A and B are shown apart, each in its own frame.
Chain A
């Protein structure tokens, strides 16, 4: 029963993430309308399934009369793009640091630990504020800021798992076989910690997407008129008492995506950890 529930959760997460990724990729072909096209005559139109809704706008329009459904679809692009790019960037930094520290130990490990501690003492939102104040906000700035800051969990997990693997006999056998250090790191250590890193990657991806939304909400994220879900929530907050769907729609989308990513990560950890180990 519990097993089937887990499989169901993994399948659900998989469907959500793949579905939203497909929607993001195919955005230009599946949006019914131009997400940037303003029509002040048709502002704040309710969704088609509510009273007063029209078939032209499935999820209604926003305060500038832009088609809300099209903006939501393009927003998926921004969220997925930020999620993936931030995870790739922070994953590379964190895994490299963690594996090197855990594998070599001693003084190198002490340096890695110091860098991790330094990173942990930096408040993320404050850094983002400062960066935006200096260079202005753009998609690149958001990706770089988050990518260069969100690596600490990768580093911690990569370091501890590497330390566990480092002392196993197959690593000793690889040393005795005359393998080089890079070979041992890449072929013997990394494949045996990667399932832990995949879980971290999903957590970080969800976190990055939420942080982008938070930054956009504060006006520090992607600049308008790009349709980020966080920005949509920020713009909707003035109207939520009169037309609650404008804040509900991007909010629910964000919730579903983050839930999907987390379900996928949890499920993958169980599967990857269990199938190949004895």
Chain B
């Protein structure tokens, strides 16, 4: 069976101009990432800000070309697909529903846009828009409004309706709940989960919120400085993280008990710079287990007890 998404050694390098007299800086936002998501599955991708999560989302969506490596969707190379075929297969849900909806169009037109692009118009278009709005739990009358008249949760429902109106196979969710109120987050998360089961969708779910990822994903990948340092089934990863970074990440989750304060995760204050990746293992300057060879030798991914880990010490 072909995987719904297969990413092979995807790399994306950005060139950042630093001034007239100095050369450009190369930022390796995504650096040799490989993974696959089976049909109907949900891969959660976690990592701190700036680790390349969103760039990876844009590579999978075909919004950015890869510098090297390739992305296969349902066995076809994404780069070879035309925009309409790609749109029928894979759709995004973005983080901020305040910037992902065009403020000057009515909700009906926003949801209809993917159909319009496919040449589906008139009655058929109106019916599918109506059906989709009801499906994501919005009253049909909302179609005549503009985004400014909607709440954050309603807007995110509109964004989900737009993503699903073409009945795609795959949805890439780039932090779909992190811009919402806590009370609304759960509703949106449950809606996404329900839609996945009912419509047989495959999700790539990007978040920095571990609880959210644990709730919705069946497999989790941890990104650090443009690489995937650990991949495993959700239960295995949360029960027994192998990579020191994953361990630190899980330890950083705040406990609900008051008075305990912020946990010390031993990552230090060093912030990783994707333009200046450390030699050897890129995590070694912040790793509390680091040894001398970590600074010299770059680790390769290995299978350890069902985890795919990129660490010399595991």
Tell me whether A and B are bound partners. yes
A176 & B87 in contact (Cβ 8 Å cutoff) = yes
A173 & B117 in contact (Cβ 8 Å cutoff) = no
Interface size for A (C-beta < 8 A) is 20
Closest A residue by C-beta to B147: A278
A178 & B83 in contact (Cβ 8 Å cutoff) = yes
Q: Does chain B have a CB within 8 A of A180?
A: yes
List residues of chain B with CB within 8 A of the CB of A170.
99-102
With contacts defined as CB atoms under 8 Å apart, how many contacts are there between chain A and chain B in the complex? Answer: 76
List residues of chain A with CB within 8 A of the CB of B116.
179, 183
A191 & B92 in contact (Cβ 8 Å cutoff) = no
Within 8 A of B (CB), among A143-190: 168-170, 172-180, 183, 187-188
List residues of chain B with CB within 8 A of the CB of A180.
83, 117
Interface size for B (C-beta < 8 A) is 34
**Alpha-carbon separation in the docked complex, A188 to B105 (Å):** 9
Given contacts A175-B63, A178-B114, A183-B117, whether A192 and B92 have CB atoms under 8 Å apart is no
Task: Say which residue of B94, B96, B103, B117 sits within 8 Å of A177 (CB atoms).
Answer: B117
A173 & B146 in contact (Cβ 8 Å cutoff) = no
**Alpha-carbon separation in the docked complex, A176 to B159 (Å):** 12
Task: Say which residue of A177, A183, A277 sits within 8 Å of B148 (CB atoms).
Answer: A277
Closest A residue by C-beta to B165: A177
Q: Does chain A have a CB within 8 A of B84?
A: yes
- Taking the closest CB of chain A, its distance from the CB of B132, in whole angstroms, is 13
List residues of chain B with CB within 8 A of the CB of A107.
none
**Alpha-carbon separation in the docked complex, A276 to B148 (Å):** 6
A188 & B63 in contact (Cβ 8 Å cutoff) = no
**Alpha-carbon separation in the docked complex, A239 to B301 (Å):** 92
Task: Say which residue of B63, B99, B102, B118 sits within 8 Å of A176 (CB atoms).
Answer: B63
Given contacts A178-B84, A183-B117, whether A173 and B162 have CB atoms under 8 Å apart is yes
Q: Does chain A have a CB within 8 A of B113?
A: yes
Within 8 A of A (CB), among B46-89: 58, 61-63, 83-84, 86-88
Within 8 A of A (CB), among B88-134: 88, 90-92, 94-96, 98-105, 113-114, 116-118
Q: Mark B20-63, 1 if CB is under 8 A from A, else 0.
A: 00000000000000000000000000000000000000100111
A188 & B91 in contact (Cβ 8 Å cutoff) = no
Closest A residue by C-beta to B96: A169
B99 & A168 in contact (Cβ 8 Å cutoff) = yes
List residues of chain A with CB within 8 A of the CB of B94.
169, 172-173
**Alpha-carbon separation in the docked complex, A173 to B163 (Å):** 8
**Alpha-carbon separation in the docked complex, A176 to B148 (Å):** 23
Given contacts A172-B58, A173-B162, A178-B118, whether A278 and B103 have CB atoms under 8 Å apart is yes
Task: Say which residue of B86, B105, B148 sits within 8 Å of A178 (CB atoms).
Answer: B86
Given contacts A173-B92, A277-B148, whether A188 and B102 have CB atoms under 8 Å apart is yes
- Taking the closest CB of chain B, its distance from the CB of A108, in whole angstroms, is 18
B117 & A191 in contact (Cβ 8 Å cutoff) = no
**Alpha-carbon separation in the docked complex, A183 to B84 (Å):** 14
Q: Mark A185-207, 1 if CB is under 8 A from B, else 0.
A: 00110011000000000000000
**Alpha-carbon separation in the docked complex, A277 to B86 (Å):** 31
**Alpha-carbon separation in the docked complex, A191 to B146 (Å):** 14
**Alpha-carbon separation in the docked complex, A178 to B102 (Å):** 16
A277 & B87 in contact (Cβ 8 Å cutoff) = no
Task: Say which residue of A172, A174, A192 sits within 8 Å of B103 (CB atoms).
Answer: A192
Task: Say which residue of B88, B99, B146, B148 sits within 8 Å of A169 (CB atoms).
Answer: B99
Within 8 A of A (CB), among B144-199: 146-148, 159, 162, 166
- Taking the closest CB of chain B, its distance from the CB of A197, in whole angstroms, is 13
- Taking the closest CB of chain B, its distance from the CB of A177, in whole angstroms, is 4
B98 & A278 in contact (Cβ 8 Å cutoff) = yes
List residues of chain B with CB within 8 A of the CB of A174.
102, 113
Q: Which of A's residues lie within 8 Å of B, judged by CB? A: 168-170, 172-180, 183, 187-188, 191-192, 276-278
User: Could you show 27 A-B contacts with beta carbons less than 8 Å apart?
Assistant: A168-B100, A169-B99, A169-B100, A172-B94, A173-B92, A173-B113, A173-B159, A173-B162, A174-B102, A175-B63, A175-B83, A176-B61, A176-B62, A176-B63, A177-B113, A177-B117, A178-B83, A178-B84, A178-B86, A178-B114, A178-B117, A179-B83, A179-B117, A188-B102, A192-B104, A276-B148, A277-B103
Other CB < 8 Å A-B pairs besides A170-B101, A176-B91, A177-B114, 17 of them? A168-B99, A169-B96, A169-B100, A174-B102, A176-B61, A176-B87, A176-B90, A176-B92, A177-B113, A177-B162, A177-B166, A178-B117, A178-B118, A180-B117, A192-B102, A278-B147, A278-B148
> Which 9 residue pairs across A and B have the least CB separation, nearest first?
A178-B87, A169-B100, A177-B114, A191-B104, A169-B94, A178-B117, A178-B83, A170-B102, A179-B117
